[in-house]
Amino acid sequence: MIRIRKTIRHLILAVLPAGMSCGSTPERQWSLASPDANCGITLHLAADGSLTYQIQHRDRNVTRAAPLGLVIGDEDFTTGLRFSHAGAPAGRRERYELFAGIAPRVDRLVNHRSIRFQNARAAGLSVDLAASDEGVAFRYRFDSGSATPREISEERTGFRLPADASGWMQPYHAAGKYTPAYEDFYFPVTPGSPPPVSRARPIGWSFPALFHLPSAGTWLLLTEVSSPDPYPACHLDAGSPEGLYRIAFPRQNERGGEPGPDLPARPRHTLPWTLPWRVIVIGTAADIATSTLITDLAPESRVADSSWIKPGRASWAWWSHPEGPFTEATFHRFTDLAADMGWEYTLFDANWWDPGLEALVPHASSRKVASMVWTHARDFSRPDARREKLDEMVRHGAAGLKADFWCSDRQESLENVMELFRDAAERKLLVNLHGCTLPRGWHRTWPNFITAEAVLGAESYLYEQGFTGKAAELNTVLPFTRNVAGPMDYTPLALSGKIHPRLTTAAHELATAIVFTSGVIHFAEQPSVIAGLPDGARQVLRDIPARWEETRCLVGEPGRLVVFARRSGESWFIAGLNGTGRERLLELDLSEHRALARRLLIHEAENQQGEVSTSAPAVRDLWQHRLPPRGGFILRLDP
């Protein structure tokens, strides 16, 4: 009887506006709840005809009323709106395959509802709502047709957080030669905090933004998901008065730092027009780290036959030899490393043209290693140039490409990226983006999009003096922020010394290869260093896949501590990172893994920072391990 009542309550919450009885007429307030009724979103139409929304979690409001509305052409949808009609809530089952991400196959139920309004001139605007057990989302939609492109001059959308919120955000950079590219630290913030001056001049905050709400007992991740129609990539304005973070457009001069006006680059398209989803993931930090809500809301796959898409691991010469020599022998050495380790790929980065692909790809093919090839984003700015470059890659036998230096969130830049995905898929080529914007659900729509940078990764040991002191903390924030948005080409390992020596331990660096997810894992290390690892550690690098069968976040303390458990076949790999300068005692309940009696622990050697050791811990239900400052570990469990 209790179960029946609970089911009925869930159905009522999904259908009725908040605070309304069965006999009420919905005129000012419309709600949608998730299938489990724990997450909800409510629209409210004020007396002046303006729209606001609030987010609910476990029957309580967790955000304050935040504004909606926009101005498109000569039509104002910020005030003077009146209700037209509301569709009934309907559940939609999202079943799809991911080649890069938390799970290889996803099966989620998402509730949807559309509410339509008219402005003072009787022009229509629909607000679509979505609610899943992992969070909520909303977007705008224009259904009427218009052959003439329409421009959005203003979007008032915002996220309003309670006063006790605190979290982690990354500055959004002004246009420059290498910016914006989402390459900065995540900083601890509270509402009202201005973006700090860090690696470049900040003009706002980047997506995604992570917040803890103590009074609501939950975490929120704010981000966006692209629609099938053109739109720029947005970010958050620099100011957040009274906890309100507003949507901001990219700038006109985001073209590799070329001179130009520092003005918003506004969205422009014909009607009908569906705008991006604005997404709020809700739950514990661990829930957010394993959420698929972003891809649940993304357009379905545009690749009919995906059997040729193979996630994998790659060797990479550039990190070890950024200044060369860019010789055939150098590239062959890293190809041979991939072959010896059983990795699927090798990456021919910048200056591959010195020896030439005609010398490099055949050797890789002879070793049964597939080739990825570095390219520049300018190669894909025009349709004819894009197709010519892709055809060149195919002629040489490449399996994929790394396209670098986009440095723009403008609408036309994102359109070029989508066209690259499409044309590359037609030629069965994988795509890795660098110097780029944040992924926005694209790895579902274009599964040949296998990974992207948009992160301050291991190459920062070459360029960023401040990286060494903040890397451990950053590494325990990324699983709850950037990596939730999509596959992340952090290029893990980074064991040998660089210009700016690391302060993390070698075990910490090894563990990042398991904690972070990427459709192709580019290992940043040279053959001699990998050969010098203990046998057990080297075997882990042979055996960990790029595509895991199951993932759990066991410990989620952003900025402090993270532990993930990932399954491949019957084996589990548990990896943890200490983001602090203090020793941490970790306790894990491994009782469900009693049958996995073969256990290998990879941890710090006596000198801690420089080397790793392996040991075989006793089989106990409660496993304890001391993590040194900025330390890490890998615990392998096998039948």
CATH of residue 292: 2.70.98.10
Q: What is the pLDDT of residues 360-370, one digit of tens each?
A: 999 999 999 99
Task: Give yes or no for a contact between 534 and 458, defined as CB atoms under 8 angstroms apart.
Answer: no
Decide if 354 is inside a domain: yes
From 296, 323, 338, give the residue that closes a domain: 296
Query: Residue 608 has which token pair?
Result: 């801690």
Q: What is the pLDDT of residue 13?
A: 44
Q: Is residue 568 situated within a structural domain?
A: no
How far is the CA of 629 from the CAs of 94, 110, 478, 496, 612, in angstroms? 42, 42, 18, 19, 15
For the sheet with 244-248, list strands across it: 158-160, 244-248, 235-237, 202-205, 171-173
The whole-number average pLDDT for the span 63-81 is: 98
For residue 608, pLDDT over 60 is answered with no
Same structural domain for residues 287 and 344? no
| Same domain, residue pair 269 and 337 | no
Q: How many Å apart are CA 130 and CA 90, to the nearest integer?
A: 10
114 and 189 fall within a common domain:
yes
Q: Are residues 257 and 345 in the same domain?
A: no
Confidence band of 23 (pLDDT split at 50, 70, 90): very low
145 and 262, same domain (yes or no): yes
- Asked if 195 and 330 sit in the same domain, the reply is no
Q: How many CB atoms lie within 10 A of CB 90?
A: 11
Would you place residue 33 in the very low, low, confident or very high pLDDT band (cuts 50, 70, 90)? Answer: very high
Of 483, 509, 534, the position where a domain reaches its end is 534
- Flag whether pLDDT at 8 surpasses 60: no
Structure-block tokens of residue 158: 């915002």
List pLDDT tens digits, range 154-212. Answer: 999 999 999 999 999 999 999 999 999 999 999 999 999 999 999 999 999 999 999 99
pLDDT at 311 over 60: yes
Q: Give the three-state DSSP class for 300.
A: coil
75/161 same-domain check: yes
321 and 207 housed in the same domain: no
Q: Choose among 427, 465, 453: nearest CA to 347.
A: 453
Residues 245 and 335 in one domain: no
Residue 354 DSSP label? T
In this structure, are 292 and 348 located in the same domain?
no
Looking at residue 144, its pLDDT comes to 86
Which residue range forms the structural domain that includes residue 98?
2-296
Task: Tell me phi and psi for residue 527, to 5 degrees.
Answer: -55, -40
Q: Which residue in this structure is represented by tokens 């130009």?
A: 260
- Residue 315 CB neighbours (<10 A): 28
On the question of a cis peptide bond just before residue 325, with omega within 30 degrees of 0, the verdict is: yes
Query: Would 567 be classed as within a structural domain?
Result: no
Q: Does residue 591 fall inside a structural domain?
A: no
Asked whether residue 9 carries a pLDDT value surpassing 80, the answer given is no
pLDDT mean over 569-596? 97
Positive or negative torsion for Cα 511, 310, 413, 267: negative
Q: What is the pLDDT of residue 606?
A: 80
The answer to whether residues 137 and 232 belong to one domain is: yes
- Asked whether residue 343 is domain-assigned, the answer is yes
Count of structural domains within the chain: 2
187 φ/ψ angles, rounded to the nearest 5 degrees: -110, 145
| One domain for residues 26 and 173 | yes
Task: Give the residue-averaged pLDDT of 59-80.
Answer: 97
Residue 303 belongs to some domain of the structure: no
Average pLDDT of the residues in 574-588: 98
3-state secondary structure of 204: strand
Q: What is the pLDDT of residue 258?
A: 64
> Are 105 and 97 contacting, i.e. CB atoms less than 8 angstroms apart?
yes
CATH number of residue 333's parent domain: 3.20.20.70
From 483, 518, 534, the end of a domain falls on 534
Nearest to 576 by CA among 517, 506, 493, 515: 515
In tens, the pLDDT along 445-495 reads 999 999 999 999 999 999 999 999 999 999 999 999 999 999 999 999 999
* Residues contacting 7, CB < 8 A, separation 6+: none
Is 183 part of any domain?
yes
Neighbours of 107 (CB within 10 A): 11
Mean pLDDT of 324-332: 97
Contacts of 491 (CB under 8 A, 6+ apart): 316, 319, 457, 458, 459, 522, 523, 524
Residue 171's pLDDT is what?
98
pLDDT higher than 60, residue 18: no
